[in-house]
Amino acid sequence: MTEWLPVVVLPALMLVAALLLRIAQRRLRTDETVLVDAVDALLPQTQCAQCGYPGCRPYAEAAVAGAPLDLCPPGGAPTQAALEKVLGRSAGDRLPTPGPVRAVIDESQCIGCFLCIEACPVDAIVGAPQYLHTVLEDRCTGCELCLDPCPVDCISLVPASEYANTPSEPASLIADEPCIRCGRCQPVCPEALHPDVLWWTSRARQPDAAVDQGLKDCIECGLCNQVCPSGIDLVGVFTDAKARLQIEADLQHEAERSRALYEERQQRLARQAVLASERRAARLRAGKRQW
């Protein structure tokens, strides 16, 4: 009898464990929308559909469900890296990093056909049929969706002027570390910051840590530069790090606005469709022939 006991006890135990897990699985429904929201927030909201999905939100849903992460050309390498980090899987080769671009209409060639206005997902092109069209630069996301419909090829993409002065890698970040940790920069800082710590964190590419240490409070007075015995251009590094943070914030803001514009447009189109079908129904009721 006893030799049969392990054979019974062990499967019974596994069965109990499996049942408990099954119950837990039923109870704890996974809320995927939290993850979709997080992924959607990382996308540039150009709504360009270059990924093959109809917009940024559909792509976010697909990415959470397992779609490749290297499908977003407007986001480029930074977006791909952010997606890989949140979703915990890597997607092979990095996309090239694009500069933000804007569409521009060559107004001497525009024939006023209205096709690009219908294609624009964020209502960035203004104009009326048979009249000249033009692009509102601060609304344009550079999604390229207006290029194809244009019958006279009068639309081109140019680098966005507001990001023309994006700082490149500053020399002092690449050089070997000359800081000897003497701490002389600390007492001279009028904002009571620790310029050396700020410098290390900026150098180690830890923008969050640098902000925690008060990077944004730096008034760029230059006193730390003057006392540094190694002659490090501390303020140069801080200015640069702050500019990067600002650009990131600007892009984030722009993405939020593009999302709002896109959603407004979708709602407007839905309203128009409802109105059109109501008018059609009214005409039918009035007994008029439709043609």
16 or 282, CB closer to another protein?
Answer: 16
Residue for token pair 């525009």: 110
Closest approach of Cβ 175 to another protein, in Å? 11
- Between CA 284 and CA 291, with CA 288 as vertex, the angle to 5 degrees is 95
3-state secondary structure of 128: coil
Enumerate binding residues for another protein (CB under 8 A): 2, 5-6, 9-10, 13-14, 17, 20-21, 24-25, 28-32, 34-35, 38, 86-88, 176-177, 179, 197, 200-201, 203-204, 206, 209
- Cα 76 from Cα 93, distance rounded (Å): 11
Q: Which of 89/279 has CB closer to another protein?
A: 89
Nearer to another protein, 204 or 269 (CB): 204
In this complex, which beta carbon is closest to another protein, that of residue 77 or of residue 87?
A: 87
The nearest distance, CB 160 to another protein, in angstroms, is 31
Report in angstroms how near the CB of residue 113 gets to another protein at its nearest.
Answer: 46
Pair 240, 228: CB distance under 8 Å? no
Nearest-approach distance from CB 217 to another protein, in angstroms:
20
Q: Which C-beta is closer to another protein: that of 6 or that of 92?
A: 6
Beta bridge partners of 16: none
Provide the H-helix boundaries in 88-179: 115-119, 171-174
Nearer to another protein, 198 or 255 (CB): 198
Q: Cβ of residue 197: shortest distance to another protein, in angstroms?
A: 8
Phi/psi for 101 (5° steps) reads -125, 160
Q: Smallest distance, Å, CB 27 to another protein? A: 9
**In this structure, are residues 227 and 185 in contact, taking their beta carbons and an 8 Å threshold?**
yes
* Beta-carbon contacts of residue 146 (< 8 Å; ≥ 6 apart): 103, 116, 119, 120, 125, 155
Q: What is the dihedral of CA 198, 175, 95, 64, to 10 degrees?
A: -30
